[in-house]
Every structure is written in structure tokens, then in C-alpha cells.
Amino acid sequence: MDCGPLADIDDEYEKLVIGMNPPRVTVDNNSSRRATLVKVDSANKNGSLLEVVQALIDLNLTVSRAYITSDGDWFMDVFHVVDQDGNKLYNNEVIDRIQQSLESQSFSFRPLKRSVGVQASSDHTTIELIGHDRPGLLSEIFAVLADLKCNVVTSEVWTHNLRMAALVYITDESTLLPIHDPERLSKIKRLLRYVLRGNRDKHSAKTSISFDSTHTERRLHQIMYADRDYDRDESNSDEGAIDRSKTIVTVENCADKGYTVVNVRCNDRPKLLFDAVCTLTDMQYVVFHGTVIAEGPEAYQEYYIRHIDGSPITSEEERQRLILCLEAAIRRRNTEGVRLELCCEDRAGLLADVTRIFRENGLSVSQAEVSTQGLQAVNVFYVVDSSGNQVQSQTIEAVRNEIGQTVLLVKDEMYANSSANDGGRFSIGSLFRSRSEKLLYNLGLIRSCS
């Protein structure tokens, strides 16, 4: 039975209701000494909470407290927010952006994009990857892209439970325009899948092609959730690996009110609220009431939820699955290892060279954020050793000596003192062709274009 027309009717009804009751966004700097209060009132629709939280994190704001109420047809939320330095928001331009963003983006009826693969936009082409994580994998991926004359504009990489998910935004190296050629896209997809498969991931490594846009961080959650990273066996990981921050999730039914109550307690970090709300929404749960407190080293979240059809969780199997999924959503973005920040003039093959040096020195990237700002490359890498342990300081210094002391900075307390007075010359420009590329040539995975 085709439900398309009914869905269209529901969508038009929601538009009519919200059109009659447009969202009201109030920014209040007087009620709290510690934070700016952002109050959102609107007619309710499915996904409202996630869209508001997503708008806040996209503005690089930190939510220290939140009070959520969306029971019935009305949506009322209060968020206590601060900037990245922990200060209240006094800049009128920032306040205006908050209001405009929440009033326009959060209630714009954008369809949810669920496709996997490579997609084109007006600025770039996007590659989605999922596969078994291993030391040197990111180096091989960037080497393939460099050999295929692809310029990496931005990228985000997560690892969890021995899996790696990445979104890589690329353009053509010579024109800096999106790549549309079907044969070239097919070749990119095929070679990257070959690299992802390696010797251990013959079936679950994925790269595929589509032309939809999406929100990067939400899409990474969706990719890893679809890959079932939450129920993979971690017993094979090394005992010496870095301990993950303890996360406690409980799920209980509130019989007299007909809700399921979810409680989450863990170490606080940026975007924690988004990760939890994103998971609940994509698992088809609706948050009716919620409280979030994140003003110290720990964060506490409580949600009263039901299924979209209005029923609470009824089975133990589903309860356990929700616990595992929330734990995974939190841990995917927990930063493990030493934070390295690379800032230098962007050039073709930069990422292939940098990640090759990491690999040659026994470093494995657990998380990465790659971006370009004008002509500058601004990249953040979290690195561990090949066994998942903390990296020795002499290894970090060896890497910095090769890449450039003034270009690659260490943002980690363990290394702050030893790195503060170091000097050095920028040496990235003198790097030759990646040895990992040579390895790929020998394996027959890529061919020289020279």
C-alpha cells in the first residue's frame, strides 16, 4: 500500500499548524549569571528537539543545562548556553544568528537523508566510508585520493569498537569543483572499497554513491548505527588499550505515566547532548520531557520517552539494545590519545603526506577533523599507538621534527611542558611522494598518473 499521499497530507498539516503558530525564540542574558538562556516555543512536530540542538551545536555553543517539554502539540525548551570559552553571549551578532538559525533552520521541513555514498553539492562531492579500523588505514585512504587527483576540502573520521566511519568532502584537484563524472566516481568508490576491505573486512566495508546532502555528525552516527558498532565484541581489543570514560545508562518504565525513563551519567564533553538526542530520534523514540545538567566534570541527562506510536518500551531485549546504542553514541566521539593540531598552507597531497608520517612512526588516528579556511589547512588529529595505547613523548617529537615543529602543535597536558619551548622549521613542502602510495602501486590498487 502506497502511503505517500497520506504522508504529504500530514506534512501539509504540520506546515499549516506551524504557519499559524510560528516559532518564538527568546535570548535571555538576565536570568542567569553563568549562562545565556535560549528559549524556544513552537507547535510540535517529530524531530523538533534534534533540529534545535543541532542548530545550537552548529553555532559552536555549549549547553550547560536544558529543560525539555514537548508533551502534546506544543514544544517548549530552555537551553543554558555558553561560548567555547565558557562565557555568556553578549555579542549581538551572535545572538541574532541564534535567533535566525533556530527560527529558519530548525523548522524548515528538510527531508531526512538516509542514502549512503558519494554525493554532490554546489561546493564539493562527499564520500562516505565504513570499514574495519586498522593502523595506517586513514593514510591509505588519503593516498588513494591524492593519486586520483582529489582535493580534500573537509573530512571527519570516527572510530569505535574496531570500526572506522568517515565523511570526506572532495573537489577536483585542478578545478576545485565538485566531481560529477560517473566513471571517475565509480573508480574512486571501487579503489576506496578495496583499501577498506584489506585482509579482514571482505563483506562489511562499504562505499557507495548518491547525490543527497546531510548533516555530517548525524550522518556519522547513522552510518555506525547501521553498521551495528554498538554490539560488536570488544574482547579482542588489547588489554593495554586506553580506558574509555565510564558511562552509565539506565532504562526503566514509569508505569503510572506510560513513559520509559532514560538516565545517562558520564564525563561531560562538547556535543554530548546532540549525540544522545540524535540516537533517540534515529531509533524512532520521541522525547516528551527531559533535563540535562552539565556544569561539572560529569553530565547528567534524563529523558521521558515513548515510541512514535505513543507506547513505552515493553521488552527487555529492546531495553538492553537502547542502553548499548546510547553508550556507543557517547563513546564514538570520546577523544582518545594525544591531540595534534596541524595548521599550514594547504596543498595537494598534504593529508596523504601527514598521515603517512603518522603511520611510519607507529601512530594510529582514532579521530580526525579536517578543514580548510581559505588557503590554510586547519586539521585536528587524535592519535594513539598501533595497539591503542598512549603515545610516547619521543615518538610525538619525532613526528613533529619531520612535519615541522611550528606546524604541528601538541594540545595535551602530558606533552605541554616538553613542547612549549621547541622550535623548528616548516618541512611539509619538501616531502616527497607518499611511501604508502608506493605500497598501493605495488599491490596494484592504484596506478601512477605521471
For 174, 176, 352, 363, the CA distances from 345, given in Å and listed in that order, are: 17, 16, 15, 23
> Which stretches of 140-281 are assigned E, i.e. beta strand?
150-160, 163-172, 248-254, 259-267
3-state secondary structure of 289: strand
262 neighbors 247 (Cβ within 8 angstroms) = no
| Amino acid identity at 239 | E
Burial of 326 per CB tally in 10 Å (0-12, 13-18, 19+) = buried
H or E segment to which residue 355 belongs: helix 350-360
Q: How many whole angstroms from its chain centre is CA 45? A: 25
* Domain range list for the chain: 1-111, 119-231+336-443
Closest CA relative to residue 197, chosen from 279, 141, 122: 141
Q: Give pLDDT, residue 14.
A: 54
Span 1-111: which CATH code?
3.30.70.260
Fold matches, 1-111 and 119-231+336-443: yes
pLDDT tens, residue order, the chain (450 aa): 445 555 455 555 555 545 556 678 889 999 999 999 999 988 777 888 998 899 899 989 999 999 999 877 788 999 999 998 999 998 887 788 877 777 765 444 443 333 334 554 568 899 999 999 999 999 999 999 999 999 999 999 999 999 999 999 999 999 999 999 999 999 999 999 999 998 776 668 898 766 567 799 999 999 999 999 998 654 444 433 444 458 999 999 987 889 999 999 999 999 999 999 999 999 999 999 999 999 989 999 999 999 999 999 999 999 999 999 999 999 999 888 999 999 999 999 999 999 999 999 999 999 999 999 889 999 999 999 998 899 999 999 999 999 999 999 998 766 655 444 444 433 444 444 444 444 444 444 444 443
User: Top-level CATH class of 119-231+336-443?
Assistant: alpha beta
Q: Give pLDDT, residue 190.
A: 93
Phi and psi, residue 226, nearest 5°: -65, -30
**How far apart are the C-alpha atoms of 253 and 314, rounded to whole Å?**
8
